Amino acid sequence: MSAEAAPLLTLRSISKTYAARDGEPVEALNDVSCTIRAGEFVSILGPSGCGKSTLMSIIAGLLPPTSGSAEFAPTWQASRLPNFGIVFQDPVLFPWRDVMANVVLPGEVVGLVREERDRRARELLRMVGLSGFEQKYPHELRPMASELLNLPKHHADHHL
């Protein structure tokens, strides 16, 4: 029997409470714990409003937990955000930018060379079946195509 892979991420008793507009506490997460190891594929599922996005934001370091901790392996700690992404339930697209401009935006932000950025974006669009839609705007796409556009846009954050 092979040894278990070392943990990449350990969630220890994570809780998150927000203050509602009326000042009352709203518990988004309560005592969430798990260990994720190399090679594992993990999905977080649940109904709307159950805390999935809150948990992902805590893991990404975008939001502090009220209590508990998200501990990364030392090799991941320094490079956590470049290796981490969230694909939201609803497309997060700029309506004034066409499909290509939405996908290459992360590369623009970090200053990548246009030719390479465009080549990679076209490859990502081909992978999700959106070749030929580069010059379309989000409102011109079927709803499913808008959702598919989230995948290359997210992937571009890390691979353009």
Q: At residue 81, does pLDDT exceed 60?
A: no
Separation of alpha carbons 139 and 32, rounded Å? 38
**CATH number belonging to domain 7-83:** 3.40.50.300
Identify the DSSP state of 131.
Answer: T
pLDDT band for position 159 (cuts 50, 70, 90): very low
The residues near 4 (Cβ < 8 Å, ≥ 6 apart) are 37
Scan for tokens 């010059």, then name that residue.
135
pLDDT band for position 59 (cuts 50, 70, 90): confident
Tell me the CB-side half-sphere exposure of residue 56, using CA atoms within 13 A.
Answer: 15
pLDDT of residue 158: 47
What pTM was computed for the model? 0.58
